[in-house]
Structure formats: structure tokens, C-alpha cells
Amino acid sequence: MGRRTVGSSEDETVPREAARRLEGKVALVTGASKGIGAGIAREFAAAGASVVVNYAAGAGDAERVVRGIRARGGSAVAVQGDVSDAADVERLLTETVAAYGRFDVLVNNAGVYFPEPFESATPEQIDRQLSVNVLGPILTAQEALKHFGPEGGAIINIGSLDSARAVPGMAVYAATKGAVDALTRVLAAELGSRGITVNTLAPGGVETEGIHAAGFIGSAAEAEMVQRTPLGRLGRPEDLARVAVFFASDDARWVTGERLTASGGLRS
């Protein structure tokens, strides 16, 4: 399988002409400077939402996403913030509301992983995964509750197929995504009376800048994963983004506490 490249132009993964299912909504997408988060930000904007593109580092990448959205007639701003830092999260939500006057949708996408044999995982790697992947969604959801309007809102947690399968070298990451699944279930029950839906979107293998950098694309491992995927390819960020649009839209007002696996049929 030949190597592919993830383009760096502002027009990469341009959304198709989307139905305006999110017209008038304001969405915050964490970790949206690249990969799945960037795809969700673009698709939300194409569906009519105003989007806050959050990033922890890599301001240039975030601004590139914003420029691409604006070039296609959408509305977006980039806001820096580390989701594992409570002060940053408070500022992130405050700036979201200051930019657009309201707040409707939180996408907890920011995440990190360090694929290592379990005995090799360092305390620093473990702490970073727990801080970003678990504490981050907790802090952002807590802060989001202060800013949703009286009609409620939507929280979309980006999980992983890895929380439901056993992949050597991913024990800590899988544990953090299992925690995200549990957070979704409990928050859905706790927040339903306030009109707030909470769902998990769990990707399988998705082609992003990260897995290119890790050397996965073009490897035997990629070929094996594609072979086990009924739809016969890796996912793309826009594949996940279109499902996220559904969760964020009024079409999903009767859907909460769910974990939807979007993996091209890959299960294990």
C-alpha cells in the first residue's frame, strides 16, 4: 500500500455542501487544530454553526482551520487553552460566549496517547493521558454547564473503539477512553432534566496527521486494519464529523447516553 500524504493547504478535507442543520448554534471543539477535531470544526461550520477552534499548541494550524472556514463563508475563531487546566477552561468558555453571545454545543475532542508496552509507560505519560483525556472532558463539561442557555445543549465526547477492544500497548489510553464512556452515561442521566444531551462518538482507525507522523500509513499494521474493516479503508475526519453534526443537531434531541461506534464496521 503506497504512502499517502495529509495535505497542508487550507482547503484540505473541504466539507461538501451541508444542510444547514446547525444554523444559529455556537459550538466549541477542543483540540481542533488538526485531525478529527479540525474535521468536525469544518463540518459544523458548513452546517451553519459558529465554531470556536480550540488548540493547546500549534496556533498556526488552528488559524489555518479558521481561515479555511471563513473562506467558505463560515464563522470561526481560534482560542488557545489547555483543557487539563481549570483556569484555561474557564477562559475558553468565557471567550466563546464573548465571541458569539451564546453557547450550544461542546465537543470534547482533545486527546493524547502514547502507545507503549504497559510496563514501559512512564508516570509522566500516564499523567498526561489522564489529565487531557479524562480530566479535560470533566472540566470542560463542568464549565459548559454555566453557559448553556435555558433550552439546554449538547455535549459530544470523542471516545475510541479501543475502550471496547484489547490492543497491546494501548492499556492506559484505553482506560482513559473507558472513563469517557462512563462519564457520558452518568452525565446523560444527570443532565437530561436540563435539556442537555450527552453522547460518545467512538472512532475506529482514522487517517490523521498523527498516524502519518507515527509511520502507521503504508505499514503492515495499516494493511491489516484495513483488511479487517468491512468498508475496506481507514476513516477520514469528515466521516466522524458528519456523525457529530447529527449529535449536535435538533435531530438528536431524543438521543442521549449513547456510544456510537463509527469504524467502518471494525469491531476488534
The CATH class of the 26-204+237-260 domain is: alpha beta
**Could you give the CA distance from residue 140 to residue 136 in angstroms, rounded to a whole number?**
6
Q: In this structure, what C-alpha cell is assigned to residue 13?
A: 478535507
pLDDT-derived band at 46 (thresholds 50, 70, 90) equals very high
pLDDT tens digits, 63-80: 999 999 999 999 999 999
Q: Where are the domains of the chain?
A: 26-204+237-260
* pLDDT for the residue 250: 97
* Active-site option among 55, 100, 113, 173: 173
| Closest of 161, 110, 105 to residue 133, by C-alpha | 110
174 neighbors 131 (Cβ within 8 angstroms): no
Task: Kindly give the pairing relationship between strand 259-262 and strand 196-203.
Answer: parallel
55 among known catalytic residues = no
* pLDDT for the residue 16: 56
Prediction pTM value: 0.91
pLDDT tens digits, 228-255: 899 999 989 999 999 999 999 999 999 9
pLDDT tens digits, 154-172: 999 999 998 888 888 889 9
Percent of the chain scoring above 70 in pLDDT: 93
Q: In this structure, what C-alpha cell is assigned to residue 12?
A: 484540505
Q: Residues 172-182: what's their mean pLDDT?
A: 97
| Closest of 248, 68, 219, 231 to residue 158, by C-alpha | 248
